[in-house]
A and B are shown apart, each in its own frame.
Chain A
Amino acid sequence: MEERTVVTSVPWGPEPAPAPVADRPSATARVLGGAAALVLTTGLYVGLAVVPPDAVQGEVQRIMYLHVPSIVTAYLAFAVVFCASLLYLWKRDLRYDAVAVSSAEIGVLFTGITLATGSIWGKPTWGVWWTWDARLTLTAILFTIYVGYLMLRAFAEEPQAGARYGAVLAIVGFLDIPLNHMAVQWWRTLHQPSSILRPGGPSVASVMLVPLAINFAGLVLLYTYLLLERIRLERVRRRTAELTLKRGRRG
C-alpha cells in the first residue's frame, strides 16, 4: 500500500519511489473512449433515423433507446461498487476503494440520466413529469442512496475512515435494493411492465432491439472509459494529498 509507506517514511531516510500516476489517459482508456463514441453514434443514428417509430406512442418512444440502457448501466455500476467495497474490506487495498467511489459517481450520473429521460418521456405519454409509480420510485430511492454515499465520502475526516464507512454503506445499500423493489411493487405499479426480460421472450418488435443493444454496448464502453479515467483522477488526488501532507511535515 503505497499510500501508507509514503506517509510514515522518515524525513531523512531514502525517499520511497512514488508510484507514478499517468498524466494522460492510458492507451486502453483511449481505445475504449473512441469505441464508445463510435458505437453510441451508430446506436443513436439507428435509433433516431433507421428504425420506424412506435405504432402507439410515435416518435417520442425513441427516447427509450437512451432511457433503458442508462438504467441497466447504472445497476451495473452499483454492482461494481458493491463488489469493490467487499474486496476493500477484505484486502484493505485502497485501489479497490478508488474503484468503488469512481463507479458510484458514474452510477449516480447514469441514474440521473434515467430519471431525466424518463421524465421527458413521461410528460407526453402519461401527461405528467413525475408519478409515484413503482419503478420510478425505486430509481429515485436508488439515486438518493448513492448520492448519500458520495456525501458520506465527502464528509469523512480522513480518507481511510471514509473508505471504510463508504464500503459499509455500499454493502448495506446494495442489499437494500431488493427490499425496496418489493416494497414499491406492492405499493403501486403504473409503469409499462418490463418488455425485454420477461417470461415468454421480449415483447418489443425485434427491430427495436437493435438500437437498444447497440446503445447498451456503447454505454457500457462509455462506463468503462469513464471508470478508468475517474480512477486515474482519484489516484492523482490521493497523490496530491500525500505530497501536501509530506511538505507540511517538513515544515
Chain B
Amino acid sequence: MQAERRGLGVLRRTWAMTWKDVTVELRARERVNAMLFFAALVLFIFNFALGPDRDKLREVAPGLLWLAFLFTGMLGLGRSFQAERENECFEELLLTPGDRESIFFGKLAGNVLFMATAEALILPLFGILYNLDIWDSLPALALVAFLGTVGFSTLGTLLAAMTAHLRAREVMLPLLLFPLTVPVILGSVRATEAILSGAGLSGVSHWLKLLGGFDLIFLVVSPLVFEFVLEE
C-alpha cells in the first residue's frame, strides 16, 4: 500500500515536471520553433555540402537523417536546464518534495517529447527533399527513432543537468554526449539504413537489441547518479 502510494507520487511529480516544461514551451516557444527551423536548415546545408547528385545523397541519407535528428536534439537538450539556471529556478527545483528521480524523469519526458516533435517534421521533409520512399517503412523507422531518441535523451538529460553549471557550458554538452552515445548513433544509423533498403524489423533485430539495451541500462543508472549532479 505504502509502496503503491509512493509509486503514484513519483508518477504524479514526474507528470507535473513534464507539464511545467510543456507549458513553458507552449507560452514562450523558445525551443521547439528554433529546433524545427534549425532542422530544416541542416537538411538544406547537407545538400549544399554534398551536391545535388541524387544517387549519392540517397546513399548517405540514413547518416544525414540521424545527424539532423541529433543536432536538433542537442539544441533542445542544452536549453532544458540552462533555462532553469538563467531564471534561477534550480533552488526551487531542489526544494520540491519527493525524490529527485521524478525531476529526472520529468525533464527526460519533456526532452523526448520535444525531440520527437522535431523528428516528426524532419522525417517527411527529408523524404521529400531527398526523394526517399519512407512511407512504407514508417512504423519500423518510428520504432528505431523512438529507441534512439530515448537513449540519446537519457544521457543527454543527465549531462545537460551537469553542464548547466559549468563554464563554457554550450561547448561541453556535445563534447561529452557524442562520444558516450556512439552505440546509439551507430545502431540507429545502421538500422535505418537496413530498413530503407528493404530489410524488415527482423533484419535489424540485433541493432534494436543494442538500442534497447542501451536505453534500459541508462534509464536505470542515470536517475541513480542524477541525485549527485543536483546536489548544491
- Please list the residues of chain A having a beta carbon within 8 angstroms of any beta carbon in chain B: 89, 141, 144-145, 148, 151-152, 155-157, 161, 164-165, 167-169, 171-173, 175-176, 179-180, 182-184, 186-187
In contact, B179 and A148 (Cβ under 8 angstroms): yes
**19 A-B Cβ contacts within 8 A?**
A145-B180, A148-B176, A152-B162, A155-B166, A157-B166, A157-B167, A164-B229, A164-B231, A168-B158, A168-B162, A171-B221, A172-B155, A172-B221, A172-B225, A173-B180, A179-B183, A184-B186, A186-B206, A186-B210
Given A179-B210, A179-B214, A183-B210, residue A165 in contact with residue B229 (CB < 8 A): yes
In the assembled complex, B228 has its CB within 8 A of some CB on chain A: yes
In the assembled complex, B217 has its CB within 8 A of some CB on chain A: yes
Residues of B within 8 Å of A, CB-based: how many? 33
Instruction: List the A side residues contacting B231 at CB < 8 Å.
Output: 164
Given A175-B217, A186-B210, residue A180 in contact with residue B162 (CB < 8 A): no
When chains A and B are docked, how far (Å) is the Cα of A167 from the Cα of B224?
13
- Please list the residues of chain B having a beta carbon within 8 angstroms of any beta carbon in chain A: 155, 158-159, 162-163, 165-168, 172, 175-176, 178-180, 182-183, 186-187, 190, 206-207, 210, 213-214, 217-218, 221-222, 225, 228-229, 231
Q: Chain A: which residue is nearest B224 at the CB level? A: A171
Instruction: List the B side residues contacting A155 at CB < 8 Å.
Output: 166-168, 172
In contact, B225 and A171 (Cβ under 8 angstroms): yes
Q: Chain A: which residue is nearest B187 at the CB level? A: A183
When chains A and B are docked, how far (Å) is the Cα of A212 from the Cα of B231?
46
In contact, B186 and A187 (Cβ under 8 angstroms): yes
In contact, A141 and B179 (Cβ under 8 angstroms): yes
When chains A and B are docked, how far (Å) is the Cα of A148 from the Cα of B158?
15
When chains A and B are docked, how far (Å) is the Cα of A155 from the Cα of B213?
31
Which of B206, B217, B225 lies at the interface centre, i.e. has the most chain A CB atoms within 10 A of its CB? B225
A-side interface mostly: helix
In contact, A152 and B176 (Cβ under 8 angstroms): yes
In contact, A144 and B187 (Cβ under 8 angstroms): no
Instruction: List the B side residues contacting A173 at CB < 8 Å.
Output: 180
Given A155-B167, A186-B206, A186-B207, residue A172 in contact with residue B180 (CB < 8 A): yes
B-side interface mostly: helix
B56 CB, min distance to chain A CBs, angstroms: 20
Instruction: List the B side residues contacting A152 at CB < 8 Å.
Output: 162-163, 166, 172, 176
A154 CB, min distance to chain B CBs, angstroms: 9
The 5 closest A-B pairs by CB, nearest first: A144-B179, A183-B183, A179-B183, A155-B166, A183-B186
Q: Chain A: which residue is nearest B222 at the CB level? A: A172
Contact of A168 among B187, B210, B225 (CB under 8 A): B225
A76 CB, min distance to chain B CBs, angstroms: 20
Q: Chain A: which residue is nearest B230 at the CB level? A: A164
When chains A and B are docked, how far (Å) is the Cα of A168 from the Cα of B225?
6
Given A157-B165, A179-B213, A182-B183, residue A168 in contact with residue B228 (CB < 8 A): yes
Instruction: List the A side residues contacting B179 at CB < 8 Å.
Output: 141, 144-145, 148
When chains A and B are docked, how far (Å) is the Cα of A167 from the Cα of B229?
10
In contact, A179 and B217 (Cβ under 8 angstroms): yes
Instruction: List the B side residues contacting A183 at CB < 8 Å.
Output: 182-183, 186-187, 210
Contact of B162 among A151, A165, A182, A186 (CB under 8 A): A165
A177 CB, min distance to chain B CBs, angstroms: 10
B209 CB, min distance to chain A CBs, angstroms: 9
When chains A and B are docked, how far (Å) is the Cα of A156 from the Cα of B229?
12
Instruction: List the A side residues contacting B190 at CB < 8 Å.
Output: 186-187
When chains A and B are docked, how far (Å) is the Cα of A176 from the Cα of B229?
18
Given A156-B166, A157-B167, residue A168 in contact with residue B183 (CB < 8 A): no
When chains A and B are docked, how far (Å) is the Cα of A152 from the Cα of B166?
8
A175 CB, min distance to chain B CBs, angstroms: 6
In contact, A151 and B207 (Cβ under 8 angstroms): no
A141 CB, min distance to chain B CBs, angstroms: 5
Instruction: List the B side residues contacting A169 at CB < 8 Å.
Output: 159, 162, 176
In contact, B206 and A141 (Cβ under 8 angstroms): no
